[in-house]
Structure 1
Amino acid sequence: MSIENLQNKEAIEKLKEMINPIDIGMLCTHTTGSKHVHAVPMSTQEVDEDGNIWFLFSSESDTHRNLLLDKSICLLYSDPGNFQFLSIHANTEILRDQERINQYWNKMVQSWFDKEKEDPGILLLKVVPAEAHYWDTKSNKLVTFFKMIASGITGEEMDTARSGELKI
Protein backbone atom coordinates (compact mmCIF):
# COMPACT_ATOMS: atom_id res chain seq x y z
CA MET A 1 0.00 0.00 0.00
CA SER A 2 1.40 3.35 -0.95
CA ILE A 3 1.05 6.52 1.09
CA GLU A 4 -0.32 9.68 -0.51
CA ASN A 5 -0.75 12.59 1.89
CA LEU A 6 -2.69 15.55 0.52
CA GLN A 7 -2.96 19.15 1.68
CA ASN A 8 -5.17 22.17 1.19
CA LYS A 9 -7.17 22.19 -2.09
CA GLU A 10 -6.02 18.68 -3.06
CA ALA A 11 -7.17 17.39 0.34
CA ILE A 12 -10.56 19.12 0.00
CA GLU A 13 -11.04 17.71 -3.50
CA LYS A 14 -10.20 14.19 -2.24
CA LEU A 15 -12.65 14.67 0.63
CA LYS A 16 -15.41 15.65 -1.82
CA GLU A 17 -14.49 12.87 -4.23
CA MET A 18 -14.86 10.27 -1.50
CA ILE A 19 -17.85 11.66 0.45
CA ASN A 20 -20.21 12.70 -2.35
CA PRO A 21 -20.87 9.22 -3.78
CA ILE A 22 -21.14 7.62 -0.33
CA ASP A 23 -23.50 10.27 1.15
CA ILE A 24 -24.21 8.54 4.48
CA GLY A 25 -21.59 8.90 7.18
CA MET A 26 -21.60 7.47 10.68
CA LEU A 27 -21.38 10.41 13.06
CA CYS A 28 -19.89 9.42 16.43
CA THR A 29 -20.36 11.70 19.44
CA HIS A 30 -19.08 11.31 22.98
CA THR A 31 -21.55 10.25 25.64
CA THR A 32 -21.52 11.09 29.31
CA GLY A 33 -21.23 8.35 31.88
CA SER A 34 -20.04 5.78 29.32
CA LYS A 35 -16.83 4.93 27.53
CA HIS A 36 -18.83 4.13 24.39
CA VAL A 37 -19.58 6.53 21.56
CA HIS A 38 -23.03 7.28 20.20
CA ALA A 39 -23.07 6.60 16.43
CA VAL A 40 -25.84 7.56 14.02
CA PRO A 41 -26.08 7.52 10.22
CA MET A 42 -26.25 11.04 8.80
CA SER A 43 -26.89 12.16 5.23
CA THR A 44 -24.26 14.63 4.04
CA GLN A 45 -25.76 17.80 2.63
CA GLU A 46 -22.57 19.38 1.36
CA VAL A 47 -18.81 19.48 1.52
CA ASP A 48 -18.14 23.19 1.06
CA GLU A 49 -15.18 24.94 -0.58
CA ASP A 50 -13.33 25.06 2.76
CA GLY A 51 -13.75 21.32 3.41
CA ASN A 52 -16.49 21.74 6.04
CA ILE A 53 -19.14 19.02 6.00
CA TRP A 54 -22.77 20.02 6.55
CA PHE A 55 -25.70 18.06 8.01
CA LEU A 56 -29.26 18.77 9.09
CA PHE A 57 -30.33 17.37 12.45
CA SER A 58 -32.83 17.82 15.27
CA SER A 59 -32.43 19.68 18.53
CA GLU A 60 -34.37 16.80 20.12
CA SER A 61 -31.78 14.15 19.20
CA ASP A 62 -29.24 12.36 21.38
CA THR A 63 -26.61 13.68 18.98
CA HIS A 64 -27.57 17.26 19.83
CA ARG A 65 -27.52 16.55 23.58
CA ASN A 66 -24.06 14.97 23.26
CA LEU A 67 -22.71 17.85 21.17
CA LEU A 68 -23.81 20.39 23.78
CA LEU A 69 -21.35 18.72 26.18
CA ASP A 70 -18.53 17.89 23.75
CA LYS A 71 -18.33 19.33 20.24
CA SER A 72 -15.62 16.93 19.03
CA ILE A 73 -16.72 14.04 16.83
CA CYS A 74 -15.51 11.23 14.64
CA LEU A 75 -17.14 10.86 11.24
CA LEU A 76 -16.73 7.63 9.26
CA TYR A 77 -17.54 6.95 5.61
CA SER A 78 -17.32 3.50 4.06
CA ASP A 79 -17.84 2.16 0.55
CA PRO A 80 -16.57 -1.45 0.73
CA GLY A 81 -17.74 -2.22 -2.82
CA ASN A 82 -15.28 0.35 -4.17
CA PHE A 83 -12.64 -0.17 -1.46
CA GLN A 84 -13.00 3.40 -0.15
CA PHE A 85 -12.86 4.34 3.53
CA LEU A 86 -12.55 7.68 5.30
CA SER A 87 -12.08 8.57 8.98
CA ILE A 88 -12.44 12.20 10.07
CA HIS A 89 -11.82 13.67 13.51
CA ALA A 90 -13.44 17.07 13.74
CA ASN A 91 -14.86 19.88 15.77
CA THR A 92 -18.42 21.02 15.19
CA GLU A 93 -20.59 24.10 15.23
CA ILE A 94 -24.35 24.01 15.75
CA LEU A 95 -26.14 26.69 13.72
CA ARG A 96 -29.62 27.83 12.79
CA ASP A 97 -29.48 29.45 9.33
CA GLN A 98 -32.86 29.31 7.59
CA GLU A 99 -31.38 30.19 4.20
CA ARG A 100 -28.99 27.24 4.32
CA ILE A 101 -31.72 24.94 5.67
CA ASN A 102 -33.91 25.97 2.72
CA GLN A 103 -31.01 25.21 0.36
CA TYR A 104 -30.68 21.64 1.71
CA TRP A 105 -34.38 20.88 2.24
CA ASN A 106 -36.08 18.43 -0.13
CA LYS A 107 -38.64 15.61 0.02
CA MET A 108 -35.99 13.07 1.07
CA VAL A 109 -34.73 15.27 3.91
CA GLN A 110 -38.28 16.05 5.00
CA SER A 111 -38.97 12.32 5.45
CA TRP A 112 -36.38 12.27 8.29
CA PHE A 113 -38.14 15.02 10.25
CA ASP A 114 -41.64 15.17 11.74
CA LYS A 115 -41.65 18.93 11.34
CA GLU A 116 -41.44 21.53 8.61
CA LYS A 117 -38.18 23.24 7.67
CA GLU A 118 -39.17 26.44 9.48
CA ASP A 119 -39.32 24.63 12.83
CA PRO A 120 -36.66 26.08 15.18
CA GLY A 121 -35.71 22.52 16.20
CA ILE A 122 -34.22 21.86 12.75
CA LEU A 123 -30.52 22.66 13.08
CA LEU A 124 -27.38 22.65 10.99
CA LEU A 125 -24.27 20.80 12.01
CA LYS A 126 -21.07 22.18 10.55
CA VAL A 127 -18.26 19.65 10.81
CA VAL A 128 -14.81 21.26 10.67
CA PRO A 129 -12.20 18.52 10.04
CA ALA A 130 -9.16 18.62 12.30
CA GLU A 131 -7.58 15.50 10.83
CA ALA A 132 -8.63 12.91 8.29
CA HIS A 133 -7.26 9.62 6.99
CA TYR A 134 -8.36 7.75 3.89
CA TRP A 135 -7.89 4.36 2.27
CA ASP A 136 -8.78 3.64 -1.36
CA THR A 137 -7.56 1.98 -4.53
CA LYS A 138 -5.23 3.39 -7.14
CA SER A 139 -7.45 2.35 -10.02
CA ASN A 140 -11.02 1.36 -10.69
CA LYS A 141 -12.68 -1.62 -9.04
CA LEU A 142 -12.23 -4.00 -11.99
CA VAL A 143 -8.49 -3.32 -12.38
CA THR A 144 -8.02 -3.66 -8.61
CA PHE A 145 -9.90 -6.97 -8.65
CA PHE A 146 -7.69 -8.40 -11.40
CA LYS A 147 -4.53 -7.19 -9.69
CA MET A 148 -5.64 -8.92 -6.50
CA ILE A 149 -6.29 -12.16 -8.40
CA ALA A 150 -2.92 -11.93 -10.16
CA SER A 151 -1.22 -11.30 -6.83
CA GLY A 152 -2.93 -14.36 -5.35
CA ILE A 153 -1.87 -16.56 -8.27
CA THR A 154 1.71 -15.35 -8.67
CA GLY A 155 2.43 -14.59 -5.04
CA GLU A 156 3.87 -11.28 -6.20
CA GLU A 157 2.73 -8.34 -4.14
CA MET A 158 1.00 -5.70 -6.25
CA ASP A 159 0.46 -2.19 -4.99
CA THR A 160 -3.29 -1.81 -5.48
CA ALA A 161 -4.18 0.46 -2.58
CA ARG A 162 -3.20 3.78 -1.10
CA SER A 163 -3.82 5.61 2.11
CA GLY A 164 -2.95 8.98 3.45
CA GLU A 165 -3.62 11.97 5.63
CA LEU A 166 -5.83 14.80 4.44
CA LYS A 167 -4.63 18.12 5.84
CA ILE A 168 -7.38 20.64 5.21
Structure 2
Amino acid sequence: MSAYDREELYDMIDDVGTAMLVTENEYDLRSRPIKGKLYRDSGEIWFLTETPSDKTAEIGADKQSNLTYACPEKETYVSMSGHAAICRDADKIDDLWEPWAEAWLKCDKDDPKVAAICFIPEIAEYWSSPESALVQTWELAKAKITGKKPEMGDNKTMIMS
Protein backbone atom coordinates (compact mmCIF):
# COMPACT_ATOMS: atom_id res chain seq x y z
CA MET A 1 0.00 0.00 0.00
CA SER A 2 1.40 3.36 -0.98
CA ALA A 3 1.62 6.29 1.41
CA TYR A 4 -0.72 8.15 -0.97
CA ASP A 5 -3.37 5.39 -0.74
CA ARG A 6 -3.10 5.38 3.06
CA GLU A 7 -3.49 9.17 3.25
CA GLU A 8 -6.45 9.06 0.86
CA LEU A 9 -8.09 6.44 3.10
CA TYR A 10 -7.38 8.49 6.24
CA ASP A 11 -8.77 11.64 4.60
CA MET A 12 -12.02 9.80 3.83
CA ILE A 13 -12.28 8.57 7.43
CA ASP A 14 -11.65 12.06 8.85
CA ASP A 15 -14.12 13.57 6.39
CA VAL A 16 -16.97 11.25 7.41
CA GLY A 17 -16.14 11.11 11.13
CA THR A 18 -18.87 8.76 12.34
CA ALA A 19 -18.56 5.07 11.61
CA MET A 20 -20.80 2.08 11.99
CA LEU A 21 -19.08 -0.35 14.37
CA VAL A 22 -20.00 -3.96 13.63
CA THR A 23 -19.57 -6.62 16.30
CA GLU A 24 -20.92 -10.13 16.65
CA ASN A 25 -23.02 -11.43 19.46
CA GLU A 26 -23.79 -15.07 19.93
CA TYR A 27 -26.22 -15.25 17.02
CA ASP A 28 -25.87 -12.29 14.67
CA LEU A 29 -24.02 -9.13 13.67
CA ARG A 30 -24.81 -5.81 15.34
CA SER A 31 -24.06 -2.33 13.99
CA ARG A 32 -24.17 0.98 15.76
CA PRO A 33 -22.95 4.50 14.94
CA ILE A 34 -19.89 5.62 16.83
CA LYS A 35 -17.70 8.72 16.55
CA GLY A 36 -14.01 8.01 16.70
CA LYS A 37 -10.59 9.57 16.51
CA LEU A 38 -8.09 8.36 13.94
CA TYR A 39 -4.43 8.28 14.93
CA ARG A 40 -2.66 8.48 11.56
CA ASP A 41 0.75 7.49 12.91
CA SER A 42 -0.47 4.09 14.16
CA GLY A 43 -3.60 3.68 12.02
CA GLU A 44 -5.63 2.96 15.16
CA ILE A 45 -9.12 4.38 15.57
CA TRP A 46 -10.28 5.04 19.13
CA PHE A 47 -13.77 5.57 20.55
CA LEU A 48 -15.21 6.43 23.93
CA THR A 49 -17.85 4.10 25.31
CA GLU A 50 -19.70 3.16 28.45
CA THR A 51 -19.31 -0.13 30.28
CA PRO A 52 -20.92 -2.45 30.73
CA SER A 53 -22.76 -2.48 27.40
CA ASP A 54 -23.68 -4.93 24.68
CA LYS A 55 -20.85 -3.70 22.46
CA THR A 56 -18.19 -4.05 25.17
CA ALA A 57 -19.44 -7.57 25.97
CA GLU A 58 -19.38 -8.48 22.27
CA ILE A 59 -15.86 -7.09 21.84
CA GLY A 60 -14.77 -9.03 24.94
CA ALA A 61 -16.17 -12.28 23.52
CA ASP A 62 -14.97 -11.85 19.92
CA LYS A 63 -12.53 -9.10 19.15
CA GLN A 64 -13.03 -9.37 15.36
CA SER A 65 -14.89 -6.21 14.28
CA ASN A 66 -15.65 -4.05 11.29
CA LEU A 67 -15.94 -0.31 10.77
CA THR A 68 -17.77 1.23 7.86
CA TYR A 69 -17.84 4.86 6.80
CA ALA A 70 -20.16 6.29 4.15
CA CYS A 71 -20.56 9.70 2.57
CA PRO A 72 -23.08 9.31 -0.26
CA GLU A 73 -22.90 13.03 -1.09
CA LYS A 74 -19.22 12.64 -2.01
CA GLU A 75 -19.53 9.04 -3.25
CA THR A 76 -16.91 7.78 -0.76
CA TYR A 77 -17.21 4.54 1.20
CA VAL A 78 -14.81 2.69 3.50
CA SER A 79 -14.96 -0.78 5.07
CA MET A 80 -12.29 -1.90 7.53
CA SER A 81 -11.93 -5.33 9.13
CA GLY A 82 -9.81 -5.70 12.22
CA HIS A 83 -9.75 -6.24 15.96
CA ALA A 84 -11.17 -4.15 18.77
CA ALA A 85 -10.19 -4.05 22.42
CA ILE A 86 -11.48 -2.29 25.51
CA CYS A 87 -9.04 0.03 27.28
CA ARG A 88 -9.37 1.92 30.55
CA ASP A 89 -6.19 3.99 30.26
CA ALA A 90 -6.91 7.38 31.87
CA ASP A 91 -4.50 9.25 29.57
CA LYS A 92 -6.18 7.83 26.46
CA ILE A 93 -9.66 8.65 27.80
CA ASP A 94 -8.45 12.17 28.59
CA ASP A 95 -7.11 12.52 25.03
CA LEU A 96 -10.43 11.37 23.54
CA TRP A 97 -12.68 13.39 25.85
CA GLU A 98 -14.60 16.17 24.09
CA PRO A 99 -17.52 18.36 25.22
CA TRP A 100 -20.11 16.01 23.67
CA ALA A 101 -18.78 13.04 25.69
CA GLU A 102 -20.07 14.26 29.05
CA ALA A 103 -23.57 14.82 27.61
CA TRP A 104 -23.60 11.51 25.75
CA LEU A 105 -22.17 9.34 28.54
CA LYS A 106 -23.90 11.37 31.30
CA CYS A 107 -20.84 11.34 33.53
CA ASP A 108 -17.39 12.80 34.07
CA LYS A 109 -14.38 11.30 32.32
CA ASP A 110 -13.11 9.95 35.67
CA ASP A 111 -16.23 7.81 36.11
CA PRO A 112 -15.31 4.09 36.20
CA LYS A 113 -17.97 3.28 33.59
CA VAL A 114 -16.03 5.26 30.95
CA ALA A 115 -13.77 3.19 28.72
CA ALA A 116 -12.19 3.44 25.29
CA ILE A 117 -12.35 1.08 22.35
CA CYS A 118 -9.22 0.67 20.25
CA PHE A 119 -9.88 -0.56 16.72
CA ILE A 120 -6.83 -1.88 14.88
CA PRO A 121 -7.56 -2.29 11.18
CA GLU A 122 -6.13 -5.27 9.32
CA ILE A 123 -7.73 -4.88 5.89
CA ALA A 124 -9.32 -1.77 4.43
CA GLU A 125 -11.23 -1.29 1.23
CA TYR A 126 -12.47 1.99 -0.12
CA TRP A 127 -14.52 3.25 -3.01
CA SER A 128 -14.23 6.82 -4.19
CA SER A 129 -16.02 8.43 -7.08
CA PRO A 130 -15.06 12.09 -7.09
CA GLU A 131 -16.98 12.86 -10.26
CA SER A 132 -20.41 14.47 -10.30
CA ALA A 133 -23.61 12.52 -10.96
CA LEU A 134 -23.68 14.03 -14.45
CA VAL A 135 -20.19 12.69 -15.24
CA GLN A 136 -21.13 9.28 -13.84
CA THR A 137 -24.24 9.18 -16.05
CA TRP A 138 -22.06 10.08 -19.04
CA GLU A 139 -19.58 7.31 -18.19
CA LEU A 140 -22.38 4.75 -17.95
CA ALA A 141 -23.90 5.86 -21.27
CA LYS A 142 -20.47 5.82 -22.93
CA ALA A 143 -19.83 2.31 -21.61
CA LYS A 144 -23.16 1.11 -22.98
CA ILE A 145 -22.27 2.43 -26.44
CA THR A 146 -18.59 1.37 -26.52
CA GLY A 147 -18.84 -1.86 -24.51
CA LYS A 148 -15.92 -0.66 -22.35
CA LYS A 149 -15.90 -0.50 -18.58
CA PRO A 150 -16.97 2.94 -17.28
CA GLU A 151 -14.53 5.13 -15.34
CA MET A 152 -16.40 5.35 -12.05
CA GLY A 153 -13.61 6.18 -9.62
CA ASP A 154 -11.22 4.25 -7.41
CA ASN A 155 -11.66 0.99 -5.55
CA LYS A 156 -8.66 -0.16 -3.51
CA THR A 157 -8.07 -2.91 -0.98
CA MET A 158 -5.14 -2.55 1.42
CA ILE A 159 -3.44 -4.69 4.03
CA MET A 160 -3.05 -2.34 6.99
CA SER A 161 -0.73 -4.21 9.33
Specify the TM-score bucket, using the shorter chain as the normaliser.
0.7 to 0.9
**Partners of 2:115 and 2:50 in 1: CA distance:** 6
Calculate the TM-score normalised by the size of structure 1: 0.84
CA deviations over 1:104-135 (Å, ceiling 9, x no partner): 21211222102110012211111111111111
**Partners of 2:30 and 2:19 in 1: CA distance:** 13
Partner residue in 1 for 2:71: 79
Shift of 1:21: 1.1
Calculate the TM-score normalised by the size of structure 2: 0.87
Shift of 1:8: 5.8
Residues 9 and 51 of structure 1: CA distance in aligned 2, closer, same or farther (over 3 Å): farther
Aligned amino acid, residue 71 of structure 2: D
Gaps of 5+ in 1: 1-6
Aligned residues, how many?
Answer: 156
**Partners of 2:107 and 2:34 in 1: CA distance:** 18
| SS of match in other structure, 1:124 | strand
Aligned amino acid, residue 14 of structure 2: N
**Partners of 2:102 and 2:53 in 1: CA distance:** 16
Aligned amino acid, residue 27 of structure 1: L
Partner residue in 2 for 1:4: none
Partner residue in 1 for 2:134: 146
Does 1:14 find its partner at 2:2? Answer: no
Picking from 34, 37, 49, the partner of 1:42 is 34
**Partners of 1:101 and 1:11 in 2: CA distance:** 29
C-alpha RMSD of the superposition: 1.8
Contact 1:24 1:43 in 2 (8 A): yes
CA deviations over 1:15-66 (Å, ceiling 9, x no partner): 311111111101011101x1x2111110012233121111111112110011
1:22-41 to structure 2, matched below 5 A, reads: 22-32=16-26, 34=27, 36-41=28-33
Partner residue in 2 for 1:97: 89
Contact 1:46 1:55 in 2 (8 A): no
Does 1:110 find its partner at 2:110? Answer: no
Aligned amino acid, residue 28 of structure 1: V
Aligned amino acid, residue 150 of structure 1: W
Gaps of 5+ in 2: none
| SS of match in other structure, 1:50 | coil
